[in-house]
Structure 1
Amino acid sequence: ATACRHRATLPVSPVEVMPPRRPQQTFSNTLSEAHAKRMSAHQEQERDNVALRQSIDEAASRLPARFTLATPLDVAEVQQQKAAAEAHQRLLQELAGRRTGAEQALAGLRSRSAALETTYAKKITKPAATLRDKLLTLAQRVNDAAGAFGLEEPAAAPAAHVDLDTQAHWAADLLAQAKELLGICAAKIDEQQRAEKAAGEAIGLACHTAGAAGEEDLEQQYLAAHGTVQNLKRQIERAREELPVVNALQERIDAAAGTVDVLAQLSVVLAEGKFIADAVSRRLQALLRQASEILLSISGGRYRFAADFRIIDMDTMAARDVKTLSGGETFLASLALALAVVELASRATGHVEALFLDEGFGTLDTTFLRDALNTLTDHSTTGRLVTVISHMRSITENAEHVLVVEKSLTTSHAHWADASERERIINDDLGRGLLE
C-alpha cells in the first residue's frame, strides 16, 4: 500500500450561548484556554500523522517497483491495488503449496535414487566385480595356454574403472579366444588319448612277452633288472680296479708258498703244545714279577704276588688267598696287575697310550691311596694318558685335568673344570658329593 496523506480535522461542537452569569473577562479566559488545548491536541495529532507517514513511506520503499504507486491515491486505485495484492498473495500460496509438493516429490526421488544405487551396486557393480575377477583368472589361463601352443596372447584387461560396455567387449573377445583354445585342447586330448591307447597296447604286449601279471609287475621287473644291471656294472668296475691288486697278491702268494710250507711243518712240530705252554708260563711269570714290583710300591712294601697269584704278606711271609684280602687290598692287587699288563704290552708291541680306571679308590686308606696315586702319576709322566673315573676329592686334588660330568633329568653334560671350579670342587665336598 502506498502512503497516503491525511489531514486530521477535529470536530467542533456547537457552543450554546448562555446568558452571561460571570463577568466578560472570565469567559474570555475560558475560551482562550479551550482554544489553547485544541491547538495543542491538533499539533500532537499532526506529529502522530507525520510519524505514521514516515513509517508508511519506509515500508513502501521496501516494496517491489511494480507495487509502488504515485501519490496522491484515490480510493478506487487503492482498492484495485489491494485486489491485485490479494491475487498475488493467493498465487504465492499456491506456488508455496506446489513447492512443498515438489520438495516432497524430490525427497521421494532422492530416496528412490538411493534405492536404485543400492540395487545397482547389488545387482550390477558387485556381480561385475566378481565376474571381472573370474575373467582375470580366465585371462591368465588363456595366456598360459596361448604361450604353450605358440598363439597370440589375449588383450590386456581394461582398468576396473572403465565403463562396463568396454569391459563387456573385452570379455567377449576373451571368451572367443578361450573357446578357440578349448578346441585346440580337445584335439590335443584326443591325440594324447590315442597315444595313451597305443602305449597301453605296447605295455600289454610287453607284459605278455615278459610274463608279467600287469603293468605294476612289469615295472617291478624292470626296476629289478635295472638294479641288477647297475650292480653288475659296479662289480665289473670294482673288479677292474682290484685286478692289479689281485695280480700283486697272487705274485706274493706264489713267492710265500715256500714259507707257508715251512710254517706248516713247524705247526706239526708244535702240535703237542709244549712250546706254547712254555711261552705262556714264561709270560705269566714276567707278569707276576712286574706286578709284584708295583704291588710292593703301592702297598708300602707289604704285599707281593706268589707264583700262583696268591698274595704274600711280607710281614709274616705267609701266602694268602685273594679271598682273604680286604676291599682295599683287592683293589691294590688288581691295580698292580693292570699296570703290569700295560707295562708288558708296551715292551712287547709298542707304547700303550692310555689307561682307564673306574672307581675302587674309596676302599683304600690314606697311606695306600697316596701310594697308588703316586704310582699312577709316574705312569702319566711317561707320556701315557691315565684316566680315573671317581667321585673322591683326593683324586681331584692329584689330577691335572678334571672332566666334570653332571646328570640332569633327561641327559648328562660334561665339561672341563677350570682352576676356580677345580678349587671349588675340592673345597665343597657336600655340594659335589665327594668323599674323603
Structure 2
Amino acid sequence: MYLHRLELRAIGPYADTVTIDFAALAASGVFLLEGPTGSGKSTIIDAVVFALYGGLAGSDASSDRLHSQHADPSVEPYVELVFETGAGVFRVRRTPQYDRPKQRGSGTVKQQASAQLVRLASPTDPAGEPLSARIPEVGAEVVRIVGLDRAQLLQTVVLPQGEFARFLRSPGEDRRKLLQSLFGTQVYDRTAEELAARRRAVLAEVEGADARVRDALARFSEAAGVESAAESDVPGTVDHLGAAASAAEAARVEAATTATTASEQETLLRARAAAVGRRRELLARRATLEQQTESVEAARRRLDRSARAARVVGFADSLDAARDRAAAARADAATLRERHGLDHEHDVEGLADRLRTAADAERHLVDTASRLDARATALDAARADRAALDERLADLQRQLADRPADRLALVARATDAAALAAGATGAAHEVERLAGLQRERDALAVATAQVSVAEQTVVAARTAAESALGIERDLRDRRIAGLAGELGAALADGTPCPVCGAVEHPAPAAPQDDHPTAEAIDAAAERARRAEQTLADAAADLRVAQAEHRRLTESVGALDDADLAAAVERAAAAVQAARAAADLVSGLDRELTAHDETTRALERTRNDVDTRRAVLATSIDADAERLEHDLGAVRAAVERLTALPVPGSPELPDTAGIAVAVRTVDSAVAVLQSIARADAAVEQDDRVVADRAVEVDAALEEHGFTDVVEARAALLDESTEHALRRTVEDATTAWGIVDAGLAEPAVLAAADDMDTDFDLDAAAADRAGAAAVLDEATRAAVTATDRAAAARRCAADLAAAVRARDETSVRSRAVVRLADVANGATAVNPSGITLGTYVLMRRFEDVVAAANDRLRNMLAGRFTLETSDERESGSRARRTGLALAVHDHTTETVRDPRSLSGGETFTVSLCLALGLADVVQAEAGGVSLGTLFVDEGFGTLDPEALDGVLVQLSRLTAGGRQVGIVSHVDELKQRIPERIAVRRTASGASRVTTTV
C-alpha cells in the first residue's frame, strides 16, 4: 500500500485545512515528520489510521480527541486519504462524531460519523467512482483492498509510539493470535478442529458398532432359548436348532398322514350311510307322486283352454274399444262443423293455409305498431333537447371569446416578474463574494500583524546568528593563532616533533591562557548551526506570512469599509427583491396553468355540446322519416287483413288495430285446423275398427272357438286358475327333485348297501385320536421351526454387526491417529504442538530470520533473536512454540527480551517489525506494504546505533518502499532533508510546513 495524499481539517490541534503530499515527500525514500513533543505529530499518524479503519493508532487512544478544540464548532471535521494498492487507487473520506451548534436556538446537536470510499482512475482524479457511503461497508471494503485489518496494519505498516515493541515483549499466545491473523493460518486450526470432530465421530461409531454387536448377541440368545451365548457358540447352536426343527417336522408329517387316513375313512362311511337313507326317502316320494298323476293332468288341460280363450277375448275387447272411439270422433267432428257453419263440402285445410299465410305476412308490424306512440313522444323530447343544446352552445362561445384577453394580462405580469427574478443567482453570488471579501479584509489585518511579528523575529534571529558566527570565527582564529603553543605543550624530550620530526625541543612555544579548546569550538559551531536553523525557520515563516499578506492585499484592493457595507446592503436588497419576484412568478405560473386548464375544459365542453347537437339533429330527421313510413305500413296491413273471409266471426271494422286483426285471423286459423284434425281422427278410427275385426276372426280360428261367447265361457276366474297352476307346478317340481336325486352316483351305489349296518361311532373315535396326535406334533414342529428361523436371522444380524464393527475399527484408527497428531496429543505427538501452531512456528522462524538479517548490522552485531518451543519464563500459558529470546553474543547468554534497555528494545523491535512486514509482504496473499511509518523511539539511540537503523531503513527504500520517521531528534533533521514540520502557534493550535 502506497500513500499519495492526506488532507484533514478541524482534527486534533489542526484547526485549518492541512494537506500533505506523501508521494512528493517519499520521492527519495525516507521523509521525516518532526516537531516538538505534543505539537501533533502522532495526530497525523492517527489521521491515516482513522481514514482507513475509523480508529486511532494507539491501543488506548480515544477518538474523542479527533475533533479540534481550536476550530469553529460549526466547521465539519474530516480526514481524506488517497492511497494505492494492487487493487487500484482509492480515496477514503471520514468524519468523526462531533457536536455542532444548532441551526436554530442555543445548544448543540450530535452529528453522526460518516464515511465515503471512491475508486480513482489516478491519484489526481477529482471525481472517481463511488463504491460505498455506509460505514460498515467502507470498513470491510478497506480491509479487502489493503489486505490488512487495523491490528495487522499497526504491526506492519504503521508502527505507533510504544506499540510496535509490544510484539517483542508479548507472550507467545498473543504472538500466535497476531501471526494467525496476518498469515491466515486459521485454516490449519479449523483442520485440527475438524479432525478432532471426526475423531469423536469415529469413536462414537466404534462404540455404536460394539453396542450393536452386544445387542445382536443378546437377541440371538433370546431367540435360541439360551441364557447367554458367546460369538463362538453361535454356529453350533444354529446347527443344533436346525436339526431339531427337521426332526419335529418329520414327526408332524407322519402324524398328518395318519390323521388324514382316519378322517377319510370316517367321511366315507358317513357318506355311504347318508346315501342309503336318501335313496329310501326318494323312493317313498316317487310312489306318492304316481298316485296323483290323473288329477294333475286334468288341471293342466283346463289351464291350457283358459289361456287360449284369454287370447281370443283380448282381441275382442280391442275391437269393442275401437268402435267406441270411432263413434265419439264422428260426433265431435259434426259438432265442430255445425258450430262454425261449415258443411262437409268446405275445404277447411286450404282455407286455413290461406289465412295463416296472410297473417304471417303482416305479423312483424304488430311490434312496430306497439312502439309508435313511444317513438312519437321520444321524438318530441329530442326536439326539446336540441333547443337546449343550441342555447348552451351560444353561452360557451361567449365565454371562450373573453379568455384570450385575460390570459394575455397574466402573461404580461409573469414576464415582468421573471425578468426581476432572473437576477437572483447573480445577486446571491454577489452577496457571497462580498462576504468573502469581508473575511479577507479581516484576515488582512491579522496577516499584517503576523508579517510585523515575523520581521522582528527574523531581525532578532539574524542578529543572533551573526553573533554566533562571529564568536565561532573568533574562536577558530584564536585557536589557529595559538596552535604553536598547543603543539609546544604536547612536546616532550625524546618525542619526535609532529612538524619537523626533531626529538630535541630547545624553545617550545607556550600556550596562551585563553587558548580555546576543540570542545569549545564544537560547542560554538553547534550554537551557530542552531542559530542559522532558527534564522532559516524564521525566514521561511516570514516568506509564508508575506505571501499571504500579498495575496490578501491583491484580493481586497482599495475598497474601504463604507463602500463595502453599502455594496453588501445593495446586494442583500437585490437578493430580497429577486426572491419576492421568484415567489410571484411561481404564483402567476400557477394562475396561468389554471387559466389554460379552464380554457381547455371550456373548449372540450363546447366541442362536446356541438357534436351532441349535430348528432341529435341528424337523429331527429331520420327518426321522423322512419315514424311516418311505419305508420303508413301499419294502416295498409290493417286494410289487407280486414278484407279476408274469416269463418265464424263478424267482419273487422276499418278502425281495428293491426294486433286485433292478426289475433282474429290467428283464431280463425286455429278453428279450421281443429276441424281438419277431427275429420282426420274419424278416418283413422274407422281404419282401426276394420283391423281389429280381422284380428278377432283369425284368433277364433287359431284357438278352436266358434265365437267370442264360447271363448268368454272358457275363461277361468283368478282364484281357480291360481289353484290349478299351483297343483301342476308342485307336481312338476317334485318329480324333478325325485328323478335328480335317484340319478346321483352315490344314491345309485347305495342300492348295494341297503342291507349293510355302518359303525360310525368307531370311525369317529379313530379320527379324533389321530387329530389329537397331529395337533401336538404340529405345535412341536412350528415351535422348533420358528426358533431355528429366528436363530438364523439373529445369527445373520450378528455376523453383519461383527463385520461392521471390524470395518469401523479399521477405518477409525487412521482418523484417530491423525487427529491426535494435529491436536498435539502427547501419546502420538510428544512435542504437544498443534498443527496450526506448527505452521505459525515455521512462519515465525522466517520472521525472526528476516529480523536477524537486519539486526546483525545494528548494535555492533551484539544481539540475535532465537525462537523456542518452551513456555515463556514466568508464564503459565500452554506451550505455543512461539517463545522468543535474545542471544547476547558479548556474554554468550540468552536473555529475556524484557531485559533490554530502551535503545536496545527500540532497535530489536524495529528489526522484528520490519522482518514481520517482509514476510507478510512475501507470503500473506501478496499484500503490498509500500509505506512504513515509525513513530518515535529514535531518541534512545546513540549516533552509531542511529546510523545502523538509518542504513536498514535506506535498504527498504531501495526496494521502492516509503519510510516515514516520526521524531524530534535533531540529528535526524540534519540527515533527512524531506520533512513535515509541525509547530505550535500562539493560539495553541498547530500548523504544518512541508519541505521537499
What TM-score do you get using the length of structure 1 for normalisation?
Answer: 0.34
Q: Which has the higher contact order (CA 8 A, sep 6+)?
A: 2
What TM-score do you get using the length of structure 2 for normalisation?
Answer: 0.15
